[in-house]
Amino acid sequence: MPDEAVEARNQFLAYNHLLFREWRTRVCPYLTQHSFDPFDKAFYLNEVSLCGVRQNIRSHYPRDGESYVHSSVEDFKKDVRHLPEDLTVVQFHIDHNKILWFSRLHAKLDPFTIPLTDLANCTIQDRLSSALEENLATTHSSRYGGDSKRFWTARMNVDKKLAKILADIEAEWLTPILPLLLPYTSKMPATLATQLSKSGLTKDAAKMLINAAVFVENKKNWLFLVKIVCCTQNLPYESVEGVASACYDKITDAHVIATNTSIEDKFTILNLCPELSCVSLENISFLKDFPLVSRVPSFKLFCNLINKVESVPKPFNGRKSYFLLNPGNDLPDTEKRIGEALDKYNFDGIKNIIPEHAQIAAVLNKYDVYLYIGHGGGGRYYSRNVIRSSKCNAISILMGCDSVAITIDGTGFDGRSSVYDYIIARCPCLVGCLYMVTDGDIDRFFIALLEYCFSHLQVKSLEAMNKKLTTKKGYITLLQGIAQARERCRLKYLQEVQLSHMESSGLTDCLVQLKKEADSISCAGIGNVVNRVF
């Protein structure tokens, strides 16, 4: 490490409790670039973006025993090693030089952190911003003079644009590391990992690569990933290529089936910087068969919550649900559709009424599931302070336009979002919409989600409940339900519903835990970035 980097590191460790974003966003990527230990690299990249932490401190609602930053690499390492083994954390960050960074964390592996690509001349983010502006414009049906055909044509055109943007992100940004978006599993061809490690790669790198080989599209893509890993370890690719090629050729269909089966109930947790929060990575084609993908707004606060729960997933009673439907009394069609669906479940709740602030705080504390159906995330009807100061025990499902979107205030700022309010309240799990949505489509989505996750509540006995369930081993989950419900929508990309885990959680009823079940790559582009940074 150069002397300048050593000085920067010592300065950062002395003052890392100061959350000045303009300082962290420059010094942390610099230290990531000049660090060689995998935990050092991951630590500094993790520390660069602490939007959830800063929001927490500003709220002035700290909890005993909680810390807001990792005091050292060892402190960070302890939290990574303490992660449940069925969780793999994937972090993306854009630094001040427009380099997209990627980091992957798992309890049983050393972290893997690399620069993915240079976005300085990339137009994808501008195209996405333009598409979301067009999405907002096309939601006003009045501009089409009541012509529903023109309205839906315009909406579908925007949906197609978003689909194309996601496909371009997948191809231009993510292709080399796509298999690393999936959860890690130890149930893989272990003998091949051992054989690959004898080529000079570390054991953890070999395990990660063999795990990825099962899911990669073709051998060429996988060998390129091997080349990237060699570059990060200052290992000549030529000394590894032959062994790696032989290992890939030995992967059988049985290996693929066994590894796929082993990750069916495992999670990928995304931690995205605010600039990427509007990208629905959960919806890329590579992940279409792997729906257990959710988000956390802050890895540190996620660790705080994980460290406090006795078991993961934390059980919830689906019968203890409360709804707030159309509090503004200005969505009659939604009220009729959703009201008829909610009647099947006998949930507590109110409609056409703006609740008192104390009532909302009590609901979030008393109930296990909170269902909001109205405009936005409900903030216009009760203040953000009500959420922040509450002790939120309820899984919160916010079915309104932009209900969990982060409004960007400019580069280097955290932005504004209800997500921050709920994480400050220690909400166990938040579900909401990334974009402006069409009421008919989001209503269909929500009704389908209810049917998938709460169908067992329509029957009276536990025996009947077990017969009613049709999912694998009788287990159903919120994330599986989101994936299934999306298929009911006409606009599958605009109706993007995102789940933020504040802590790993499932849905249960009758105290029965419902377990979570739920060759074209730009080689030159990423190769140049990796070589330049390392």
Residue 524 pLDDT level (bands cut at 50, 70, 90) = very low
C-alpha radius of gyration, the chain, whole number: 23
Percent of the chain scoring above 70 in pLDDT? 79
Q: ∠99-102-103 over CA atoms, to 5°? A: 140
DSSP, collapsed to helix, strand or coil, labels residue 348 as strand
pLDDT computed for residue 472 by the predictor = 34
**In 313-438, which ranges are continuous DSSP H helix?**
332-342, 357-366, 384-388, 418-424
DSSP, collapsed to helix, strand or coil, labels residue 445 as helix
**Averaged over 181-202, what is the pLDDT?**
92
Ranges 3-12, 33-42, 55-64, 412-421: which has the least confidence: 55-64
Contact 407, 417 (CB under 8 A): yes
**Averaged over 53-82, what is the pLDDT?**
76
pLDDT computed for residue 465 by the predictor = 45
Contact 399, 371 (CB under 8 A): yes
pLDDT computed for residue 42 by the predictor = 95
**Both structure tokens of 171:** 């191809």
Hey, which bits of 64-137 come out as E strands? 87-94, 99-106, 109-118
Contact 521, 224 (CB under 8 A): yes
Q: Which one is predicted more confidently, 409 or 488?
A: 409
Please report how many Cα atoms fall inside a 13 Å half-sphere around the Cα of residue 103, on the Cβ side. Answer: 29
pLDDT of 357 strictly over 60: yes
Could you report the per-residue pLDDT of 436-488, keeping only the tens digit for each?
877 677 888 888 888 877 776 664 544 544 444 333 332 335 666 676 676 66
Residue 527 pLDDT level (bands cut at 50, 70, 90) = very low
Could you report the per-residue pLDDT of 421-437, keeping only the tens digit for each?
888 888 888 888 888 87
pLDDT of 165 strictly over 80: yes
pLDDT computed for residue 426 by the predictor = 82
Could you report the per-residue pLDDT of 209-243, keeping only the tens digit for each?
999 999 998 999 999 999 999 999 999 999 999 99
Rounded to two decimals, what is the model's pTM? 0.83
pLDDT computed for residue 51 by the predictor = 62
Residue 91 pLDDT level (bands cut at 50, 70, 90) = very high
- Largest CA-CA distance found in the chain, in angstroms, rounded: 70
pLDDT computed for residue 37 by the predictor = 94
Contact 443, 496 (CB under 8 A): no
Cα 495 from Cα 332, distance rounded (Å): 20
Residue 302 pLDDT level (bands cut at 50, 70, 90) = confident
DSSP, collapsed to helix, strand or coil, labels residue 443 as helix
Residue 23 pLDDT level (bands cut at 50, 70, 90) = confident
